[in-house]
Amino acid sequence: MHITPAMKVGIVVFIGLFFLASAVFIIGDIQFFNKRYNLTVKFTHVDGLLEGAKVTFAGVKVGKVDRIDIKSGLVFVRISVMEKIKLPKCTRFMIDTAGLMGEKYLGMDMVPCDEKKEEGYFKDGEEAMGIEPLRLSQLFGEGEKIMQKVSKSIESVNKVLGDDKVIDSSRHMIINAYEITISAKNFMASIEDRIDGIQDNIEELMKNFGDVGEVLTGVIEDNRSAITELVQNYRDAGFEFNELISANKKNVSDLLSNMNKTTVNLNKMISRIEDEGRTAEKIKEMLENFRKTSKHVEEATSSVRDILTDETIESELRGSLKSISSVARKADKIFASLKGGAMKLLYTLRMDRNTKKSHNDVAIKLSTSGDKSFIVGVRNIGNGNHLDAQICQKNEGSRLTKRMGIIRSKIGFGADYQWKKNVLYSVDLIDTQDTQVETTSVYKLKNNISLQSKVENALKKKERNYNVGIQYAF
């Protein structure tokens, strides 16, 4: 077959038309072989959406806008979606823009379906309600309203800040705030200085307490044998006296009864001591009772003499009665000197290191015009109530004070040593049956305030107990 030039031209034109038609179909997104189904989306405003715009689902192109109609105040947008794409009933339809200034398109998003909404997928020909697009005019309108409100707020602020009184008040407030800051800074600096000073004093005090403990421990260790011998002698004397009493129990009972009456009168006298002339009269009355008691004792002695056959026991008992009479005469002299003395009320708050409990002690110290003084008080108030009743003697010019009497509701004696002007050491030997050694260190901070460190059962390591407290003198 012979191809003429005209046939060649026709073939070329036909091929060109074929490629041109293919390009038109491709560019125009015209597809004949993909099946689609149609949906209608209703809007009140489409914000410039055009027919032929793409339709996306989750950002993937799945169809296009076929037609846009306006009916009854609504815009009906008909779209065609590829049949293989299934749209859930809860799909959200909205108009979006490709980029900042790109073309408008209809976008669909997948969102979690509510329980109230119908489950399943859209079918061909169904309708859905779209989400209204946010228009620039609305944004500008809202922005204008916001700017108006901001402008009014600025005008109000200017009116307030522009007032001369407000300006002056603000200036004074700033100045006062600056002055307060400076004052606070100075105050904190002074507080820090005081805290540093207190910390130094406490460190020095604790160091002194440590030195005191070491000194007392050394003294006790150096004199352990002497103390043990003294305690043993004291215990033996107690045993002998107990044997004497048990042998003459009935007769001595009357003697002790009279002594108890005298003790009651003595306690009443001490508890009611006043800085008036009546004190001396009460003391004289008490001494008179004491003399009567001595007389009764002598009478009891004469009756005991008839009963006792042992000459040794008789002589020992007679010596004891004479000693009581001598004590009465000495007590007369001691109490007569109270009128020219002084009285102090001592309150001590202690903390037990082992049990972490606090203890309260109260004592009255009566100083005579001579070298003697008396201490009457109660330790561990509300937690044992231990009685203290001691006679103290200090020789003139000496640093040592000797004490004897009742300590913690038991017979005992002790000694105080004034090491420095503000440091005092004390040692107490308590109880004739089960002797206990108690050491105390006192550091005077002021005339009426002292710090106290106490060691109970100092010689028994397993039973040793430490107390730290503060004492106040009224």
Does residue 168 belong to any structural domain of this protein? no
Whether 219 contacts 441, CB under 8 Å: no
For residue 421, the model assigns a pLDDT of 85
Higher pLDDT, 375 or 291: 375
353 & 444 share domain: yes
Residue that is last in its domain, among 339, 371, 406: 339
Mean pLDDT of 296-301: 51
∠ at Cα 407 (405, 408), nearest 5°? 150
Higher pLDDT pick, 293 / 27 = 27
- 333 and 356 share a domain? no
Residues 352 and 462 in one domain: yes
Residues 325 and 354 occupy one common structural domain:
no
Amino acid at residue number 59: G
Is 65 within a domain? yes
Residue 66 covered by a domain: yes
Q: What is the pLDDT of residues 104-155, one digit of tens each?
A: 899 998 887 765 555 688 889 899 999 887 776 777 788 888 988 888 888 8
CATH number of the domain where residue 70 is located:
2.40.30
* CA triple 221-375-255, angle to 5 deg: 100
* 352 and 334 in a common domain: no
Out of 131, 166, 200, a domain closes at 131
Residue 56 has pLDDT above 90, yes or no: yes
So what's the pLDDT on residue 252? 52
Following DSSP, what letter does each residue of 276-310 receive, concatenated?
A: STHHHHHHHHHHHHHHHHHHHHHHHHHHHHHH---
The rounded mean pLDDT for the chain is 76
Does a structural domain hold residue 59?
yes
Give the domain-ending residue among 318, 339, 360.
Answer: 339
Once rounded to an integer, what is the mean pLDDT over residues 86-93?
89
Task: Please report the pLDDT score of residue 105 as a whole number.
Answer: 92
Report in angstroms the alpha-carbon separations of 169 from 153, 159, 179. Answer: 21, 15, 15
Q: How confident is the model at residue 250 (pLDDT cuts 50, 70, 90)?
A: low
Structure tokens at 311: 């000459």
* 358 and 261, same domain (yes or no): no
One domain for residues 362 and 250: no
Q: Is residue 180 part of a domain?
A: no
Residue 268 lies in domain: 230-339
Domain annotation covers residue 152: no
Between 292 and 448, name the one with better pLDDT: 448
**CA angle 299–302–306, rounded 5-degree value:** 145
Helix (H, G, I), strand (E, B) or coil at 425: strand
Asked whether residue 304 falls in the same domain as residue 393, the answer is no
Residues 333 and 345 in one domain: no
Residue 286 sits in the same domain as residue 357: no
Indicate if 347 and 333 belong to the same structural domain. no
- 306 belongs to a structural domain: yes
What is each CA distance from 89 to 28, 96, 112, 116, in whole angstroms? 29, 20, 10, 11
With respect to residue 145, please indicate whether it lies within any of the assigned structural domains.
Answer: no
Nearest to 70 by CA among 34, 40, 97, 94: 40
Looking at residue 243, its pLDDT comes to 66
380 confidence band (pLDDT: 50, 70, 90): confident
Count how many domains the chain has.
3
DSSP string across 196-252: HHHHHHHHHHHHHHHHHHHHHHHHHHHTHHHHHHHHHHHHHHHHHHHHHHHHTHHHH
Question: 330 with 409, same domain?
Answer: no
